[in-house]
């Protein structure tokens, strides 16, 4: 059963025959393996075009920025899964990736779509400041967080975000999306009542969109980067296991507040 319109049975990513493999119009063995670094290959796979030097530089920078941040929920989920099922390395990686949503990792995609939407509005004639204020007010009316802002640990400023934005300034790639990010930051004290720092999931989409990465693939940046980190954590888990320590710590940290158990069955007539 088909769902929706599917009348174009084609793919432009890869094909092969008895003697060759073609990826995005390039011979895999003749033009890619041993000649193209993996970040450039990732960009080629996603966009269909090899990146420029600037695009490759920033793709490398954001992948490094988001790959690792300690025992965050995705890592805890992966390590605890591996502790319970050491035969399923792939399952543990999957467990870590499945929680990449609106709060952790996937927030870069949400932020990027928000910035792109505001940039499109600003291109219709409104000032960037007015669009930023309006975007924040719309989110607050719906009681939604401002994507890309705030951090529970880096309250004075996410060092990863600060560096990425500094690199953007130094390399001259600041465009409409980074400017919108700054406009949102500057509007927060008035519209929210307090300032918030830009976090890495705000800097990454702004930078990547300004160097030409597609908004529809932004979540892939976080997924690819965190996969590398999960593999490292699972290798360590196999050598120095802490999965059940984390499980025990979770059980010890949470108090039961449900109803008390009722008395067991009477044994008077037995």
User: Alpha-carbon distance 132 to 186, whole Å?
Assistant: 9
pLDDT higher than threshold 80 for residue 103: no
pTM of the model as a whole: 0.91
**What burial class does residue 48 get, using C-beta atoms within 10 Å of its C-beta: 0-12 exposed, 13-18 middle, 19+ buried?**
exposed
Name the residue ranges covered by the structural domains of the chain.
Answer: 107-215
Tokens for 53? 């030097």
Question: Tokens 């670094």 label which residue?
Answer: 37
User: Alpha-carbon distance 230 to 235, whole Å?
Assistant: 8
Between 101 and 45, the higher pLDDT residue: 45
pLDDT higher than threshold 90 for residue 3: no
pLDDT higher than threshold 70 for residue 265: no
For 117-147, b where at least 16 C-beta lie within 10 A, e where not — what string?
Answer: ebbebbeeeeebeebbbebbeebeeeeeebb
User: Which element (helix H / strand E) includes 169?
Assistant: helix 159-170
- pLDDT tens figures, 186-232: 999 999 889 999 999 999 999 999 999 999 999 999 999 999 999 99
- pLDDT tens figures, 56-93: 999 999 999 999 989 999 999 999 999 999 999 999 99
Q: What is the CA radius of gyration of the chain?
A: 23
Greatest extent of the chain over all pairs of C-alpha atoms, in Å: 87
Which of 2.60.40.10, 3.30.2350.10, 1.10.10.10, 1.10.230.10 would CATH assign to domain 107-215?
Answer: 1.10.230.10
Output the pLDDT for position 270: 59
Q: How far from chain centre, in Å, is Cα 249?
A: 27
- Average model confidence (pLDDT) across the chain: 93
Beta-bridge partners for 16: 21
């Amino acid at each position: 059963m088909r769902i929706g319109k599917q009348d174009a049975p084609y793919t432009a990513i890869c094909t092969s025959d008895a003697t060759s493999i073609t990826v995005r119009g390039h011979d895999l063995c003749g033009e890619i393996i041993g000649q193209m670094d993996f970040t450039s290959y990732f960009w080629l796979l996603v966009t269909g075009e090899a990146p420029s030097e600037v695009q490759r530089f920033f793709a490398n920078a954001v992948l490094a920025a988001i790959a690792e941040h300690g025992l965050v929920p995705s890592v805890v989920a992966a390590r605890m899964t591996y502790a319970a099922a050491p035969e399923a390395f792939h399952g543990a990686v999957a467990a870590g990736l499945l929680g990449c949503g609106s709060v952790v990792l996937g927030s870069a995609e949400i932020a990027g779509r928000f910035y792109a939407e505001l940039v499109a509005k600003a291109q219709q004639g409104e000032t960037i400041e007015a669009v930023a204020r309006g975007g924040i007010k719309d989110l607050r009316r719906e009681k939604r967080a401002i994507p890309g802002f705030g951090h529970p640990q880096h309250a004075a400023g996410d060092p990863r975000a600060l560096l990425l934005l500094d690199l953007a300034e130094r390399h001259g790639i600041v465009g409409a999306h980074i400017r919108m990010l700054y406009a949102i930051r500057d509007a927060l004290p008035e519209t929210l009542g307090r300032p918030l720092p830009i976090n890495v999931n705000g800097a990454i989409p702004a930078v990547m969109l300004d160097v030409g990465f597609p908004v529809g693939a932004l979540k892939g940046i976080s997924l690819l980067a965190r996969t590398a980190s999960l593999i490292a954590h699972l290798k360590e888990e196999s050598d120095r296991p802490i999965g059940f320590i984390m499980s025990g710590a979770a059980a010890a940290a949470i108090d039961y507040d449900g109803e008390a158990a009722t008395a067991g069955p009477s044994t008077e007539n037995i």
